[in-house]
Chains A and B, each alone.
Chain A
Amino acid sequence: MPELALDIRNLHAVIEEKEVLKGIDLQVPKGEIHVIMGPNGSGKTTLAHTLMGHPRYVVTQGEACLFGENLLSLKVHERARRGLFLAYQYPVEVPGVTLSHFLWNAYQAGRSGADGNGKKNPKEILAFRKRLNASLESLKMPADFAMRHLNVGASGGEKKRVEIAQMQMLAPRMVIMDEIDSGLDIDSTKVVAEGIRSLKGPEFTALIITHYPRILEYLQPDRVHVMAAGKVLCSRGMELARELEQKGYDWILKEFNVV
């Protein structure tokens, strides 16, 4: 058995007493790239936020483990420090806080370990800034972006690229990307996909939520899962994504008796 980066079993979650996740089963082995597709309202974003620990989503049943450790008992920042990263569909704006300042602090927090008592090393800050500038440049971002306030006044495409830059800098072990390619033009999609591809390797595991196979052609995922009505219906290879692109979801919903 390969080591599982993410192991979700029979996960149920409610938002304001409405059940949105109705028994998710999903395993992502370490080093693989998996995809979740599915019609709007099927619970994909809820799954991503629940795994990250958003307080609005309450888990009522089931398990979720990150590299064998129970995720559900951890606070949000502890999950992040264990190597979990969520790239948001709509990243929030934080006025007055520069990307550079924020990311340096997040980086330090991650290095200091889950108990927050680890040693900080401020001398590294210059090297860190250099890496951040290189990351932004590779994402074709303006050079001053590191000193701009986090996501404030940024376009949709810029926000998505900033998410990728954060991912590159924090070097997480398990990444969940929620529609990172939505609203991007062809060139931007390529830039973002290259940014993700640069991280591919045996220590990098990803779960990508998307509606579009285009980004998947760059990333060559190992598995494609289809979600509907709060459940994972089926898991197959890349050919499933192409099939869904051509035929839509109706046929597969019928196949699994989901109305």
Chain B
Amino acid sequence: MNAKATSALDLDQSKYNFIDPESAVYRSARGLTRETVIDISRQKKEPDWMTDIRLRAYEVFLGKPMPRWGGDLSEMDFDAYTYYIKPSDKREDRWEDVPENIRKTFDRLGIPEAERKFLAGVGAQYESEMVYHSIHEDLAKKGVIFLDTDSGLREFPALFREHFASLVPPEDNKFAALNTACWSGGSFIYVPKGVKLDIPLQAYFRINSENMGQFERTIIIADEGAQLHYIEGCTAPQYSTKSLHTGVIEIFVKRGAKVRYTTIQNWAHNIYNLVTQRAIAYEGATMEWVDGNMGSRLTMKYPSIYLVGEHARGTILSIAFATNDQHQDAGAKIIHKAPNTSSTITSKSISKGAGRTSYRGLLKVAKGATGVKASVKCDALMLDPQSRSDTYPTMEIDEDKVAIAHEATVGKISDEQIFYLMSRGLSESDATAMIVQGFIEPFAKELPMEYAIELNRLIQLEMEGAVG
């Protein structure tokens, strides 16, 4: 197909690419030292056990080598970042009370306008701290907790300590250690037994400063029979130097509970996005990751699910979109540790220009986990000859009585499809956008309507005017 037709199939960043004047109330010194870690903990007035775990994680971080697999991290300079920026003195639960400059930022991004329409609660994080959190009153009355993670530590210390770093310990990987050492913000969610949220909770993460490291920590606990859907969105303006986003997300899905975690990450193209997302699902529980990766310089992100109770179910549905300067190294991990558990991995990737997508996946079935059903499906679509797509699937099956299906396809956009759609009156760019939208339809149809429309609109908009 015409190279020009795809030349602007970069997702629209212009809407997000604005910079606010900085007005932080506190910034830590550049670079990460033991003193910085202590300083962050003191700023937050944390209990000693948290300071200790931060320092332990800092040592682990120093001790672990940079990963040599996945993406290219050779240009990353840990001394260049600012690890903690406090944008405001307090976290507000009334939108009017959020400092005006920050409020304006989120207003431009459509938050919390969305809250009034279709959300049960909203959080907004700016730099290192959550500046706003609110939840519908009736949910709070039912005992639902939806706080920023720092407040979670202060207000529910026992519940917090029981779960924090229990699923992703600092020893897990270098970036989990980094996050544990200097984490700040994120969402802390608890849904009590049997409480079902029928509309989603949402958090929004914004990096504004140059050379900033954002390290949010999210903990979600769905007690027995509870249900919730959590949505996360992320943006940052484009700078010439690279900022760092390293989140850790731990999700606990107790017996018979159900959690869906949807994330649409549309970071600017200068962000290293290195995230550890892990969930544990107990007996009869259901965990679903719906994971969209559309921005960043490099993303390394492999949502995982440990199925530890009988009849637990796990679903990971992801798309990755990489254009010229981007590498999306994304994937999924599912570990079956109990009998009669089931899982589905569906991965869709699109690469354009010199963009590169990699699928890196693990499917593991432990000995004794009989009656497991699992399927893995990876589809890659390449829009032009310079695009690159790789698949690194790993399967470790230690049990015989299982049913595993695996399917992978790599395709180019079809000239015959373009011709067919054009012969009905669609321009080449519209035809291309429609085929791309069709390719990611299995993902888009799982999104709340507003997000699906926004996703399709972004693709459509970027294609318009691309052909002369």
Contacts and interface: CB of A to CB of B under 8 A. Distances in A.
Interface stretch (A38-46, A76-84, A188-196, A239-247): A76-84
A110 interface: yes
A77 B441 contact: no
A258 interface: no
A201 interface: no
B194 to A, nearest CB: 36
* Residue picked from B419, B425, B426, most chain A C-beta under 10 Å: B425
Contact of A96 (B415, B421, B430, B439): B439
Size category, B interface: 20 to 34
A86 B421 CA distance: 11
Interface in A70-104: 75-77, 79-81, 85-86, 88, 91-92, 94-97, 102-103
Given A55-B415, A55-B419, A92-B420, A109 B427 contact: yes
B386 to A, nearest CB: 20
Contacts of A102: 421, 424, 434
A103 B425 CA distance: 10
Contact of A97 (B414, B419, B427, B435): B435
Contacts of A77: 422-423, 425-428, 431
Contact of A170 (B419, B425, B440): B425
Given A54-B419, A94-B435, A97-B434, A110 B440 contact: no
A55 B422 CA distance: 12
Contacts of A96: 437-442
A52 interface: yes
Contact of B430 (A54, A55, A88, A105): A105
Given A55-B415, A105-B434, A95 B441 contact: yes
Contacts of A92: 414, 416-417, 420
A102 B422 CA distance: 11
A59 B422 CA distance: 19
A77 B442 CA distance: 28
A149 B431 CA distance: 15
B425 A80 contact: yes
Nearest to A107: B425
Contacts of B430: 105, 109
Given A54-B419, A96-B441, A81 B434 contact: no
Nearest to B379: A95
A116 B414 CA distance: 24
A205 interface: no
Contacts of B437: 96-97
B426 A97 contact: no
Given A94-B438, A96-B439, A96-B442, A88 B420 contact: yes
A56 to B, nearest CB: 8
A106 interface: yes
A149 B437 CA distance: 12
B102 to A, nearest CB: 35
A86 B423 contact: yes
A52 B423 contact: yes
Contacts of B416: 92
A91 B419 CA distance: 11
A166 interface: yes
B467 to A, nearest CB: 9
B76 to A, nearest CB: 37
Contacts of B424: 80, 85, 102-103, 106, 109, 166, 170
A106 B415 contact: no
Contacts of A149: 438, 441
Interface string B391-432: 000000000000000000000001111011111111110110
Interface in A147-174: 149, 166, 170
Interface string B422-462: 11111110110011011111100000000000000000000
A113 to B, nearest CB: 10
A105 B422 contact: no
A92 B417 CA distance: 6
A97 B441 contact: yes
A102 B421 CA distance: 8
A93 B416 CA distance: 9
Contacts of A86: 423
Contact of B434 (A52, A80, A94): A94
Nearest to A52: B423
Contacts of A97: 434-435, 437-438, 441
B342 to A, nearest CB: 25
A91 B434 contact: no
Given A55-B419, A92-B417, A96-B441, A105 B435 contact: no
Contacts of B425: 77, 80-81, 106-107, 109-110, 170
Nearest to B438: A96
A76 B419 contact: yes
Interface string A106-146: 11011000001000000000000000000000000000000
Contacts of A109: 424-427, 430
A210 B417 CA distance: 24
* Residue picked from A54, A77, A79, most chain B C-beta under 10 Å: A77
A106 B435 contact: no
Nearest to A90: B416
Nearest to A86: B423
* Residue picked from B414, B423, B440, most chain A C-beta under 10 Å: B423
A94 B420 CA distance: 9
Nearest to B2: A55
A52 B425 CA distance: 11
13 contacts: A53-B423, A75-B428, A85-B424, A88-B420, A92-B414, A95-B439, A97-B441, A102-B434, A103-B424, A105-B430, A109-B424, A109-B426, A149-B438
Given A92-B414, A170-B424, 10 more contacts: A76-B423, A77-B425, A85-B423, A92-B417, A105-B426, A105-B434, A106-B426, A110-B425, A116-B427, A166-B424
Interface of B: 414-417, 419-428, 430-431, 434-435, 437-442
